[in-house]
Chains A and B, each alone.
Chain A
Amino acid sequence: MKIIVLMKQVANKDAVLRVGADEKWIDESNISQQTNESDGYALEEALRMKEAKGDGEVVVCTLGAQSAKTVLKDALARGADRAIHVVADNVNRLSPYQIAKAIADAIASENADLVYTGLQSDDASYGQTGVILAELLGIPHATIVIEVDRASLNGSLRVKRELESGWYQWFKYQLPALLTIQSGISQIRYASLKGIMAAKKKEIRDVTPTIEPFAGAQKIEKVYLPLKMKQTQMLGGGDAKKGAVELVEKLKTEVRVL
């Protein structure tokens, strides 16, 4: 049982973003980075599957600049067995198809039984790299998976997909298959000190991809702060307590709920 987990390094959720000089992406200098949230859940789910089976291999893979090694090292510390780093700068200039193609080229020969990814990245949010990758690898996929019936694994696997408005649906997949994992599928473990020490001996293999132009690529022409949809009355002028007093006055006189 071999599971490949795709993980991406993205800007920290709490980072204050500035538009870059070319207005086509954020200014990434001095931005703290983190592992994309749902990718962390994808890794956790893969580790739990390996533990449930008692054997197997979890291989983490990222496409990104050298700084993305942090993501791989963290995954190895949490329990992944080895890592593949598809080294590419300026990932933000690649379209989802180009990203999926580069990853497909890097992992096709691994012949994994399962490929897990997060359901979308928290930066570009294309939400399709996994699906395109499955198509390129010629394997079936399920998106927005919120539960994996690990006990059902036997050449096939039952997975629960989240639909909208509280609806769910189980599907049974023949392996190999690719699953995009929803945040919250399980509680994510922390890396132990032992794990961090063990990670230092684990393999990280660098792969240099051949990224070809893709005619159907979508291109970001300009990024900017969202246009304001509402006139917001800012209260308190930075003083939270003063703001609270003013807010109660507004709730009384303008909103009239008090």
Chain B
Amino acid sequence: MILVFIEHKNCVLNKVSLEAIAAAQSIAKDLGLKVSAVIPCDKDCALAETIAQYNLEKVIVAKNPKLGIYTPDAYADAWEDVIKRENPQYVVMAHTYQVRDFAPKVAARLGKEVVGDCIRYTADGGKLTLTRRIFLGKLDADVTVGGDAPYFVTFQSGAFRGDNSEKGTANVESIDVNVGDIRMEAEEPFQEAKASVDLTKSEIIVAVGRGIKSQENLAVAQSLADALGADLAASRPICDAEWLPIDRQIGSSGQTVAPKVYIALGISGAIQHIVGMKNAGTIVAINKDAEAPIFDIADYGIVGDLFEAVPTLVEEIKKAKA
């Protein structure tokens, strides 16, 4: 059996879990296994009926009063209990921040590791080979796991399509799971002051990365944004350095955007950035490093100095618009 984790907050689904269902169903087909979903909750989770409409063996609501608000200790205990009862071959999860927090703990407790942030897999001889991105996206690694089941696998957001998960009917089964002492107290999650710029609505985005070199040089990128009527955005290092406010950040910890055109200036294309912009209509990359991973997803690429390219771009755009 494959167990797939359904992530939720107050019984509201994190939709990336549907991608995990699609991944688990795909692996199940290749290996001749069945899939069951696991929802940790403090009550008979309202989400269970929704998840029961997918092609699953069963939906297990792992219930304990301590599972109302997420803590790594409670989730690790609950999962350990479920795994010991169900003896799965694989445990499949989406590679979310929450999963990154508790999954390695569960795995370690059972003498296992997590093969994390996978982008695809191949099945051969009843076992999986997982592919992960390493070196900030510059290389791929094919990975196998040793030892006995269960094997823990997490998939990167977008590796599978949630709307490809197969529908069906499943029984809902509620079980009371054991949760021991919790060594941390969780407060309510909150959203920081609403972003002043909503980049998700931008038609054109000019984004800068470390290649811009200094805060003063942002004016170069701004001139291009002005010429195109675009919004200025950045990769994480730029916002970490406080050259631009965090509401301009694109990527897993910032905004996820899909503009018509995305122009990446001096951005190498670490995975954490790419997940936030890969669905842009047209991606343009300007980078000195011909091997920067950003070129793998770009429609148009210029290998060269952005400080040479951008002024020419601005000039030519003005001509074209005149």
Contact = CB atoms under 8 A, between A and B. Distances in A.
B250 interface: no
A54 interface: no
B261 A251 contact: yes
A145 to B, nearest CB: 11
Contact of A173 (B97, B117, B183): B183
Contacts of A95: 113
B68 interface: no
Nearest to B319: A248
Contacts of A126: 113, 116
Contacts of A123: 134-135
Interface string B122-160: 000000010011111111111111111000000000000
B286 A240 contact: yes
A247 B302 contact: yes
A143 B100 contact: yes
B146 to A, nearest CB: 5
13 contacts: A17-B135, A131-B101, A141-B101, A141-B105, A142-B72, A162-B97, A169-B190, A174-B183, A182-B253, A184-B236, A216-B112, A234-B300, A251-B317
A122 interface: yes
Contact of A184 (B148, B240, B305): B240
B216 interface: no
Contacts of B195: 166
Given A219-B145, A252-B320, A257-B228, A224 B117 contact: no
Contacts of B109: 135
Interface residues of B, number: 98
Main SS of chain B's interface residues?
mixed
Residue among B191, B298, B316, B317 having the largest count of chain A Cβ atoms under 10 Å: B316
B140 A224 contact: yes
A20 to B, nearest CB: 11
B289 interface: yes
Interface in A196-215: 214-215
B185 A255 contact: no
B308 A257 contact: no
Residue among B252, B256, B303 having the largest count of chain A Cβ atoms under 10 Å: B303
Give the top 9 A-B pairs by smallest Cβ distance, nearest first: A240-B304, A184-B240, A128-B104, A243-B302, A215-B147, A244-B312, A216-B147, A140-B183, A248-B316
A252 B313 CA distance: 12
A172 interface: yes
Given A216-B145, A218-B143, A240-B309, A230 B298 contact: yes
A134 B268 CA distance: 33
Residue among B142, B305, B310 having the largest count of chain A Cβ atoms under 10 Å: B142
B296 A230 contact: yes
Residue among A13, A97, A125 having the largest count of chain B Cβ atoms under 10 Å: A125
Given A226-B133, A255-B282, 4 more contacts: A142-B72, A142-B101, A173-B183, A247-B300
A144 B101 contact: yes
A97 B295 CA distance: 34
A216 to B, nearest CB: 4
Interface of A: 11, 13-14, 16-17, 19, 26, 95-97, 100, 122-128, 131-132, 134-136, 140-144, 161-174, 177, 182-184, 187, 214-230, 232-236, 238-241, 243-245, 247-248, 250-252, 255, 257-258
Contacts of A236: 302-304, 309
B305 A240 contact: yes
B184 A226 contact: no
Contacts of B135: 11, 17, 26, 122-123, 125
Interface of B: 71-73, 96-98, 100-101, 103-105, 107-109, 111-117, 129, 132-148, 183-192, 195, 203-204, 210, 228, 236-237, 239-242, 252-256, 260-261, 268, 281-286, 289, 291, 293, 295-306, 308-310, 312-313, 316-317, 320-321
Nearest to A17: B138
B113 A128 contact: yes
A24 to B, nearest CB: 9
A132 B113 contact: yes
A234 B184 contact: no
A227 B146 CA distance: 26
Contact of A164 (B113, B114, B186, B252): B252
Given A13-B136, A14-B289, A125-B132, A232 B142 contact: no
Contacts of B297: 229-230
A213 to B, nearest CB: 9
A144 B97 contact: yes
Contacts of A166: 191-192, 195, 254-255
Contacts of B134: 123-125, 223
A220 to B, nearest CB: 5
A141 B71 CA distance: 10
A99 B197 CA distance: 42
B300 A221 contact: no
Contacts of A172: 184-185, 187
B133 A132 contact: no
